[in-house]
Each structure stands twice: as structure tokens, then as C-alpha cells.
Chains A and B, each alone.
Chain A
Amino acid sequence: MRTTFVNTLTELARKDERIFLITADMGFSVFEGFREEFPDRFLNTGIAEQNTIGIAAGLALSNKIVYAYSIIPFITMRCFEQIRLDLAYNNTNVKLVGVGAGFTYGPMGSSHHAIEDIAIMRSIPNMTVLCPGDPFETEELVKRSYENYGPMYIRLGKNGEPTIHKNKNRIEIGDPITVTEGNDLIILTTSNTLELAKNWVDEWSDEGIKVNLVSLPTIKPINVPSIQKLIDRDIPMITLEEHSIIGGLGSTISEIIAESGKGIKFKRLGICDSFSHHVGGSKFQRKKLNILQKPDKSWFFK
């Protein structure tokens, strides 16, 4: 996803000289090409994320479309109040780009895990929250982030995620994307768990269980009518995300279900309310913490 991001941004930058890339000293072996091609539109502010966001706001107020990049905890949490005021309250055209969704940086330790970012970013007025799940969603949403004005947060995994979508239709901000059709279960997923969800769906499919898998690369604004239609189907529903079960996709969907007046069989799969002290990559963390494990089919299939 990171390579797709930088390639897409580079293409956009060739067409529009307002595009500006700012980084808090991250991007080794990622941004060298961009820096070389656009030396006047690349700025390394040093390891000072709060100042980075302020400078990004100043650049955006000077008619630039600013992409501000770092690892997720540092570009969302270290500088949260700068984001709230200088980007969101002032409605400046700055796109935050964070790498390392969930346990992407698993072995690095909890300082580098990104498990609360969706929750805090979606709570800020004016903020759009985009969580692409594969390279195609990344390319589409980076393009939309450029085409649409306003502060946005783009949550990326890292590299090597497979392309899940066969159908390469244009994706607008807010669009849910149906990956598979089915009547036995609905799975809603976002960000770097799309591949995992697809694997489960394929395995169940071999057993004759048909799942309606929907990818939600936009968490905010969430498409309420589309979610409502899924609730109206009255079949079991699971949300899947590598993020805390507090405040992320699971919470977002729960809120819609709660106000729909309908009760459906529903489960949130995500990171329980705890830090991980285990050392290991994403798959290892999931197993060790006993999270994001494939549900027993007896939960939804009789």
C-alpha cells in the first residue's frame, strides 16, 4: 500500500504543482524518488510532529495540497491537538498519511502499534477517515483525497498486501465495496484485514457457506443507508478490523444498528482493550492475543 501511495502521489504531483509532501523524518527508501523529482515540494521537518502539522497547515493556507507522512501513532496521536485545531477546526487542505495499521509494526513494540487511531480521528469534526484494504483501494482513495477538499486521514498498512478486488470500478469516498455475495453471513471489514476476511470467505465457500463480504475503506463519512440495507437483510453480521474494538469499525456499525430499531446477531472482531507485550508480526500477534480468529461456523450457520 505504501508503494502504491507514493506512486499515485507522484503521478498526481506531475499534473498538479500544488501537491506538497511533508514528512517528520520518515520515508527512508520510500520518498527518495519524489524528493529527487520535486525537490521544492518535499520537506523533511525533522522529528517534530506537532511542528510538522502546524507547518502543513501554513502551507495549505498558502494554496498547497499537503500530504503529511509518518508512522501512525506519531502522525495522529503525538500531534492530536494540532490536528484538531490547525487542520480540522481551520478546515485546511492537509491529508495525513499514516503507515503501520494495527500490528503492521508488530515486533517494534506497543509504541509503534496503531490500535486507537481510527477511534480518535473519526471523533474530530471535518475529518474524513480513509482506511484502504488493498493496493487498488489505496490508489483510488489517494486520488479521491486529492480531488476532494479538506482534512483527511489515510490509514495504510505497509507493503506487500495483495490486490483483492477483481472489479476495478472507481471508488468514491464513502463507497462500500461488495467483494462477495452471500446469504449466510455478512462480514464488514476495513483497512489491513481485507485479505484475512477474503481468506475466511473462500474457505467457507468450499464448505458451501456463502458470505456477503463488504469492504469499507471509508470509515468517515460512513455510508449509513448502505449499512442500513445490510442490517435489513436480517442475517448475522461480523465486523473485522485490526484496531481496538472501542471506537473503530465495530463501534461505528454498532451505533447504526443501535439506532436502526432492529436487533441482529452481531459480533465485533478486533483488538480487545489491551496493549500487546508479545513480540512478533501481525499474524503472530493475532494468534497470541487470540484475536481476529476465524469464528466457529456454528455461531451463524445452522
Chain B
Amino acid sequence: MNNDLVKLKKFSQKIRIDILNMVNDAQSSHIGSCYSIVEIIVSLYCKILYVDPENLSDVNRDKFLLSKAHGSCALYATLAELNFFPLENLKKYYVDGGILPGHLDKTVCPGVEHSLGSLGHGLPVGVGLSFANNLDNNKGQIYVLIGDGECNEGTIWEAALFAGHHKLNNLTVIVDFNKIQSFGDVDDILTLDPFGKKWESFGWDVVEIDGHDFQQLIDAFMLPHKKPKVIIAHTVKGKGVSFMENSLDWHYKSPNTQQYEDALKELMILK
């Protein structure tokens, strides 16, 4: 494996440990939803996005929206590790007197573009950002990460229709397709199949990849596109900790002492 990919893996490992500590300290939920998107967020912030703490007022910079904002810890940890705000703020997640709420609040967290938390909001806002950039000839690309369950929301499809019609070629959506939503399996509740074809019929370029494979992620992001692009990222809910993987429980549960230690032990090994 090349050096670059090893670095990304090591960084992801750090993010997963940050998340574990945050969720454990706060005894909060959604660790499984965070673990499925770590590689997506890390590849974006380390390899793709033209954004850093110093260029936030640059109209040509890129913008990222985490529409499935219950995965906030993954973004908080990445932003903190990349110096958007002090690392010690991660200890102030979800606790009484804290700074970082369970869902995104841009007023307390530099690097967060838009406060989100209710599903189906990020994509319409991203579409607005993308439309404005095209209109003003700004170079910035817009990236929106949505959940598979989130695709139950009508606004996803309202926005998809609009983006396809207007050929928003500066817009990329990533779907965290981990196959589990709030109260069961996606296929049992509201199947998305044929998922790729749906997007395609709405006028989008579609790429399907393994959402934990850095090379595939980077290649998918780099693919040029004349229409809006959706990257359907096949992921594993709870990825990285064996007993959390593919389990609905870890959409809600927070670890007890033994589970915390077991998870930490697994995460310390670079896979």
C-alpha cells in the first residue's frame, strides 16, 4: 500500500478513537452512523476539499454539508484534528455545559457551513450553494453527504430533480449506503432499489464504490462530471469495531466500560 493511503488510514484510526471517546464520555448515540462515514469525510478533508481554517472567506473555496447530521462526531473530530477549532472542544460534546451539540450548530463550531439535524435539509441548501456558485462563476465545489434512510425524505428527490434539470456540475452527493436506518433495515422499511437508476433517471452521473476504500473514494471524487454526481458509497454501519458492525443497536447505544475497552483495543490495531 502506498504511503499516502497508510497516512489516511492512520488518520481515520485517530478519528474513530476520538469518536469513541466522545460518545463514551457523553454516553450519547449514533456511533454506528459516525463509523460508516469516517473514510468519506477523511478523504474529503484530506484529499479533495479546498478548504482550511484560513480560507473560510474565500468565495472560491469548496463547501461540505453533513446532511445526516447525527453523524456529527465524525465531522467534529475531523475538523478538530485539522485545527478548525481546539481539540479540547471534543470533550465538550453533548454534555451539560458543553459546546458541541448532538446535531450541527454552525455558531459554535468553525468549519460547519450550515446548522443541520433534521433529515432532508442539507441537499436543498447544497443545491442553492451550487446554483449560486455557477451563477457567480465561483470555482468552489459543493459536497453533500446524505444517509440512505434520509432518502425517504421527499426533499431529497425535489432537490435531485432540480439539480438534474439545471445540470449542476459542481455538485457531488455522497450517499452513506449502510443499509440500516432508524428502526430497521432499509430494504424492509422502504427499499431504495434500483437506487442508482433512480438518480440516473433524475439526470445524475452515478458512481458506486466501497465507501471504506480510500483509493475508490478518491477516484470517484476525481471523476469529472458535466451533470450533478452521486457517489453511492456502500458502507458498514459501525465499521471498525467488530461488535458494532451491521447492528441497529449501535444507532442508539453508548458503550459500557467493558465495551469501551474492547472497542479501543480493536481500534488501536491498524487494519
Task: List the B side residues contacting A81 at CB < 8 Å.
Answer: 118
Task: List the B side residues contacting A50 at CB < 8 Å.
Answer: 120, 124, 154-155, 158
Q: For the complex formed, measure the closest distance between the CB of A145 and the CB atoms of chain B, giving whole angstroms.
A: 19
A107 near B: Cβ within 8 Å?
Answer: no
Q: Which residue of B lies closest to A81 (CB)?
A: B118
Q: Is the CB of B115 within 8 A of A58?
A: no
Q: Is the CB of B162 within 8 A of A59?
A: no
| Binary flags per residue of B106-146, CB closer than 8 Å to A gives 1, else 0 | 10000001111110110111111111110110100000000
Q: Is the CB of B124 within 8 A of A55?
A: yes
B159 near A: Cβ within 8 Å?
Answer: yes
A57 near B: Cβ within 8 Å?
Answer: yes
B241 near A: Cβ within 8 Å?
Answer: no
Question: Taking A48-B162, A62-B133 as contacts, is the C-beta distance between A54 and B127 under 8 angstroms?
Answer: yes
Q: Which residue of B lies closest to A49 (CB)?
A: B158
Question: Taking A48-B162, A50-B158 as contacts, is the C-beta distance between A61 and B133 under 8 angstroms?
Answer: no
A43 near B: Cβ within 8 Å?
Answer: yes
| Binary flags per residue of A31-70, CB closer than 8 Å to B gives 1, else 0 | 0000000001001011010111111111111111000000
Q: Is the CB of B127 within 8 A of A55?
A: yes
Question: Taking A85-B117, A89-B115 as contacts, is the C-beta distance between A62 and B128 under 8 angstroms?
Answer: yes
Q: Is the CB of B162 within 8 A of A53?
A: no
Q: Which residue of B lies closest to A61 (CB)?
A: B129
Q: Is the CB of B130 within 8 A of A58?
A: yes
Question: Taking A85-B118, A89-B115 as contacts, is the C-beta distance between A57 and B162 under 8 angstroms?
Answer: no
Q: Is the CB of B124 within 8 A of A53?
A: yes
Q: Is the CB of B132 within 8 A of A54?
A: no
A86 near B: Cβ within 8 Å?
Answer: yes
Measured between alpha carbons, how far is A81 from B128 in the docked complex, in Å?
17
Task: List the A side residues contacting B135 at CB < 8 Å.
Answer: 40
Partner of B127, one of A58, A60, A63: A58
Q: Is the CB of A58 within 8 A of B118?
A: no
B26 near A: Cβ within 8 Å?
Answer: no
B161 near A: Cβ within 8 Å?
Answer: yes
A138 near B: Cβ within 8 Å?
Answer: no
A163 near B: Cβ within 8 Å?
Answer: no
Q: Is the CB of B131 within 8 A of A43?
A: yes
A90 near B: Cβ within 8 Å?
Answer: yes
Q: For the complex formed, measure the closest distance between the CB of A281 and the CB atoms of chain B, giving whole angstroms.
A: 33
Measured between alpha carbons, how far is A52 from B133 in the docked complex, in Å?
17
Task: List the B side residues contacting A55 at CB < 8 Å.
Answer: 124-125, 127-128, 131, 159, 162
Q: Which residue of B lies closest to A57 (CB)?
A: B125
Measured between alpha carbons, how far is A62 from B137 in the docked complex, in Å?
12
- The total number of A-B Cβ pairs within 8 Å is 88
Q: Is the CB of A57 within 8 A of B155?
A: no
Question: Taking A55-B162, A90-B106 as contacts, is the C-beta distance between A62 and B124 under 8 angstroms?
Answer: no
Q: Is the CB of A59 within 8 A of B132?
A: yes
Main secondary structure of the interface of B (DSSP, over half): helix
Measured between alpha carbons, how far is A108 from B117 in the docked complex, in Å?
36
Q: Is the CB of B158 within 8 A of A58?
A: no
Measured between alpha carbons, how far is A52 from B121 in the docked complex, in Å?
11
A93 near B: Cβ within 8 Å?
Answer: no
Q: Is the CB of A86 within 8 A of B121?
A: yes
Task: List the A side residues contacting B128 at CB < 8 Å.
Answer: 54-62
Q: Is the CB of B162 within 8 A of A51?
A: yes
Measured between alpha carbons, how far is A86 from B117 in the docked complex, in Å?
10
| Binary flags per residue of A89-117, CB closer than 8 Å to B gives 1, else 0 | 11000000000000000000000000000
Q: Which residue of B lies closest to A45 (CB)?
A: B162
Measured between alpha carbons, how far is A52 from B138 in the docked complex, in Å?
22
Q: Is the CB of B115 within 8 A of A62?
A: no
Question: Taking A85-B115, A89-B115 as contacts, is the C-beta distance between A58 and B161 under 8 angstroms?
Answer: no
Q: Which residue of B lies closest to A89 (CB)?
A: B115
Partner of A86, one of B125, B130, B159, B161: B125
- CB-contacts of B134-174 with A (<8 A): 135-136, 138, 154-155, 158-159, 161-162, 165
Q: Is the CB of A90 within 8 A of B114?
A: yes
Q: Is the CB of A58 within 8 A of B155?
A: no
Task: List the B side residues contacting A52 at CB < 8 Å.
Answer: 124
Task: List the B side residues contacting A82 at CB < 8 Å.
Answer: 121, 124, 155
Q: For the complex formed, measure the closest distance between the CB of B202 and the CB atoms of chain A, giving whole angstroms.
A: 13
Partner of A61, one of B125, B155, B165: B125
Q: Is the CB of A46 within 8 A of B155?
A: no
Question: Taking A45-B162, A62-B132 as contacts, is the C-beta distance between A54 and B125 under 8 angstroms?
Answer: yes
A residues adjacent to B (C-beta < 8 A): 40, 43, 45-46, 48, 50-64, 81-82, 85-86, 89-90
The 9 closest A-B pairs by CB, nearest first: A58-B128, A54-B124, A62-B132, A51-B158, A55-B128, A48-B158, A58-B129, A58-B125, A51-B124
The 15 sampled A-B contact pairs (Cβ below 8 Å) are A46-B162, A46-B165, A48-B158, A50-B154, A50-B158, A55-B127, A55-B131, A57-B124, A58-B125, A58-B131, A59-B128, A61-B113, A61-B129, A85-B121, A86-B125
